[in-house]
Amino acid sequence: MTKIFDPKKMIGILCFLSISSISAQTILNGFFPQQNEFTFATSYSYKSYDNFYRGTTATESNPMGMGRISSSIISAYGEYGVLNWLSTTMTIPYVSTKNDQGVLDPVQGTSQVEGVQDLSVFLKAKILDKKFQNATKLAIGGATGITLPVGGYEEAGILSLGNGATAYDGCGFVQITTSSNIFVELQAAYSLRNNADFEVPNATMYSAKLGYYNKWFYAHAKVGIQNSLSGFDIGSQEFIDAGGAAALPETEVDYTNFYFDLYVPVYKNNFGVSSGYAVNMNGKNYDRASSFSIGLVYKAN
């Protein structure tokens, strides 16, 4: 008999795909693995953009006349069920970013930068899991984690792989799942960021997700928002005085992104294929990028 796809066993990977495809967000979702279950996944993402938000103004080009910029990202992800209500996750990406026209980064002096980016480790706990008489389920939980810039990359410059900050994140979620397998999930997070060389702004992050699953597939659509709590605008006098492109980690980066992710089990509940698409809808000091991703998933009981 064909096994029915259990989202609690495999669905964490979809959150991972969203993270890999366009921007960093907290690794959190309302589904938990069972105790001793382990999931490993790899993904490839491609992201590109040729215009930018200078402050809140959408421009028709990237800063410093850089033209189109593209990134290829290979990521590895793991999740382990410590207990039925407690799990841990880890993700690490390898990123290659380049200017497609060969224009040199004004700070780094090269048209391509690549390397390991940031290692993220999180611990997620279920606080409440309640099932009502109509089979609707309510789940409430939270997570805490740390992101470390382990790749030794240069933070400054337009082609930089990241802001080089150590981030301490705390987040919570509420998820409601109906008897027809439609679910809604809301989450909020705070990210405390520290860099010895730059004043990287702290940020709040929010997301709303609508999804559906059955034995053949899982899919969700999500809107994710980041709001930086300080920083200056690209092109402002403050930005110029701070060093221009050399001070990009200190800018106020805000965005609203849309994500659509899909997972299809291939063999029982042990192997599957995932894919995702993401696009920036609005931003501040942020690229107007779109991206796609594809991944392979393996789960061991």
What mean pLDDT is predicted for residues 72-88? 94
What is the rounded distance in angstroms from the CA atom of residue 31 to the CA atom of residue 45?
23
Domain extent listing, the chain: 7-300
For the residues of 213-266, what is the DSSP string, one character each?
E-SS-EEEEEEEEEEESS-B-TTSHHHHHHTGGGGGGGB--EEEEEEEEEEEEE
Lowest mean pLDDT among 17-26, 28-37, 62-71: 17-26
pTM of the model: 0.89
Alpha-carbon dihedral sign for residues 154, 14, 189, 222: positive
**Does the pLDDT of residue 2 top 50, yes or no?**
no
Structure confidence at residue 15 (pLDDT): 53
pLDDT band at 134 (very low <50, low <70, confident <90, very high): confident
Q: Which residue do the tokens 């980064």 mark?
A: 105
**Does the pLDDT of residue 21 top 70, yes or no?**
no
What mean pLDDT is predicted for residues 163-189? 95
Quick one: which H or E segment has residue 10? helix 7-10
Of the ranges 18-27, 99-108, 182-191, which is most confident? 182-191
Look at the domain 7-300 and name its fold: Porin (2.40.160)
Written as one letter, the residue type at 120 is S
What is the rounded distance in angstroms from the CA atom of residue 54 to the CA atom of residue 233?
7
Structure confidence at residue 62 (pLDDT): 79
Structure confidence at residue 217 (pLDDT): 93
Our CA dihedral for 102, 255, 192, 208, rounded to 10 degrees, sits at -130
Percent pLDDT > 90 in the chain is 73
